[in-house]
Chains A and B, each alone.
Chain A
Amino acid sequence: MTDTTLAFGQGDPHHLRGMQESVLAHDGPAPKRIVTGYGFWIFLLSDIVMFSCFFASYAVLVGQTAGGPRGSQLFDLKTVAVETGCLLLSSFTCGLASIAADVRNERGFQAAMAVTCVLGLAFLALEGREFADFVARGAGPTRSAFLSSFFALVGCHGLHVSAGILWLLTMMAQVFAKGFRADILRRLLCFALFWHALDIIWVAVFSVVYLFGSAV
């Protein structure tokens, strides 16, 4: 009799017995770094699901302008392009920061994080200026259902970026005060994931809101 039939015969249809002896010796849980990263990944996905609700409400309400201005009359694609550039570059410098942290280069880490912070603040400043401009032109969130959903969606992303910058500054301070301890490195992993995920959401925002809004 071959091994396979034996395995079936003995209630081991997935051949776990043989694997345990060779490679898959899982004694106890995975290391903390992997558990933490995975848990944070689940959080990010649920955050993306939350954003999808905002996207859905925006897509449903995009035509309901109540006689107010439409997207193509409001959006300035140049500002959006500069905002996008800021976020893309900040994602790159955030990657540089995680490399510097892995090789324990504190000066490089702090420099890369500082650049990331400046780029994030530039993004927020541009977005804030855009929002203030809309409100000044009588196109605030109370003007129409379209504008309510626009401010809710883009503003929610902006809030996430603001929270990310606060977290970024906290991480700079923690690395400065405590060095590259294992728990600090885990937090850095989560922060980098958060920052890159914000970029993904921004890709959806500029495509669905701004490019669709001015092209269609």
Chain B
Amino acid sequence: MSNQIQEMHNRLDVAPGDEEEVRVGPRLLGYAVGLGLAILLTATSFFVADTDLVWQPSIPVAIVVLAIAQMGVHLVFFLHITTGADNTNNVLALGFGLLIVFLVIGGSLWIMANLNHNMMPMDQIMKMQR
């Protein structure tokens, strides 16, 4: 009975990093594909950062997009976070983490930019202190 339950759990839940596949060949291929994609994306973003071939204002956007794509590649091929039903808990936790990350970074940038914008020029502050 307990074996049966164990088997059911193994079918229903997956720890982050766990893989469905047990055979060595496909798993090896998975890591190799992940490495290949990661190197490709890294090489592209290093190339884009240091070239005159693309429209200059698009470079930051390109770097951000490439970085997000590469993080996705790492999550899928190395950490094995998938969208499968057995992975729901892991994805939910990841979603919550991302929400906090965006709130912290976006909120800080927004508030600090506003403060900078509304702050009196430095020489006037100096004058007031006198």
**A88–B46 contact, CB under 8 A?**
no
Min C-beta distance of A163 to chain B, whole Å? 18
Of B66, B89, B109, which one neighbours A38 at CB under 8 angstroms? B89
Residues of A within 8 A of B123 (CB): none
**B108–A99 contact, CB under 8 A?**
no
User: For B59, B93, B101, B107, which residue has the most chain A Cβ atoms within 10 angstroms?
Assistant: B101
**B74–A196 contact, CB under 8 A?**
yes
B: residues with CB less than 8 A from A are 5-6, 8-10, 12-18, 22, 24, 27-28, 31-32, 34-35, 38-39, 42, 45-46, 49-50, 59-60, 63-64, 66-67, 70-71, 74-75, 78-79, 89-90, 93-94, 96-97, 100-101, 104-105, 107-109, 112
**B97–A45 contact, CB under 8 A?**
yes
Interface stretch, picked from A26-34, A152-160, A166-174, is A26-34
Min C-beta distance of B94 to chain A, whole Å? 7
Interface stretch, picked from A51-59, A113-121, A136-144, is A51-59
Docked CA distance A26–B9 (Å): 8
**A92–B35 contact, CB under 8 A?**
yes
Residues of B within 8 A of A31 (CB): 6, 9-10, 13
Asked if A193 CB lies within 8 Å of chain B CBs, one says yes
Min C-beta distance of B16 to chain A, whole Å? 4
Number of interface residues of A (CB under 8 A): 58
Asked if A1 CB lies within 8 Å of chain B CBs, one says no
Residues of A within 8 A of B27 (CB): 95, 99
Residues of A within 8 A of B78 (CB): 91, 95, 196, 199
List A12-69 residues whose CB lies under 8 Å from chain B.
23-28, 30-31, 33-34, 36-38, 40-42, 45-46, 48-49, 52-53, 55-57, 59-60
Q: Can you report 19 A-B residue pairs in the complex whose CB atoms are below 8 A from each other?
A: A33-B15, A34-B9, A38-B16, A45-B94, A46-B97, A49-B100, A52-B105, A56-B107, A60-B108, A85-B39, A91-B38, A95-B34, A96-B28, A99-B24, A193-B16, A193-B17, A203-B70, A204-B67, A211-B45
A: residues with CB less than 8 A from B are 23-28, 30-31, 33-34, 36-38, 40-42, 45-46, 48-49, 52-53, 55-57, 59-60, 77, 81, 84-85, 88-89, 91-92, 95-96, 98-99, 102-103, 189, 192-193, 196-197, 199-200, 203-204, 206-208, 211-212, 214-216
User: For A41, A57, A103, A208, which residue has the most chain B Cβ atoms within 10 angstroms?
Assistant: A41
Residues of A within 8 A of B49 (CB): 77, 211, 214-215
Min C-beta distance of B93 to chain A, whole Å? 6
The 6 closest A-B pairs by CB, nearest first: A37-B15, A45-B97, A56-B108, A207-B67, A95-B31, A41-B16
Docked CA distance A17–B76 (Å): 34
Min C-beta distance of B39 to chain A, whole Å? 6
Docked CA distance A42–B93 (Å): 7
